[in-house]
Homo-oligomer: A and B are copies of this chain.
């Protein structure tokens, strides 16, 4: 569904949001440990998320990553996916045709539109805050 980079990106953002809610800024090292991802690769992804203003980064000692409370409420999964994987998941043809659309559809166009629209709706309506709710009480997990 998503690239590895995107999976790590969602998990990292969610962990940062969770800790930011407690007022804790977190380091790359801690993030990678807590979401069980390769450190240096995660660094690249966080750079990208920072450039796309999904996470805030602060250099130097006591630096790290955080997300403003307003961001935690506002940022949706769709924005993270878009920042890393682009929009192919929404716009691409299920059978890989370059110019597939309602006018010249592939044989599964309508069926895919429906499923992709459901996926898009879900991603556009799931905030980082919502992602953290189960984590706090141990109902959901970010590794294993």
Contacts and interface: CB of A to CB of B under 8 A. Distances in A.
Interface string A105-122: 111110100110011001
Nearest to A125: B111
Q: Please give the count of copies of this chain that the complex contains.
A: 2
A107 B95 contact: no
Interface string A5-27: 00110110010000000000000
A143 B77 CA distance: 32
A33 to B, nearest CB: 15
A105 B141 contact: yes
A77 B108 contact: yes
Interface of A: 1-2, 4, 7-8, 10-11, 14, 77, 89, 92, 94-100, 104-109, 111, 114-115, 118-119, 122, 126, 130-135, 139-144
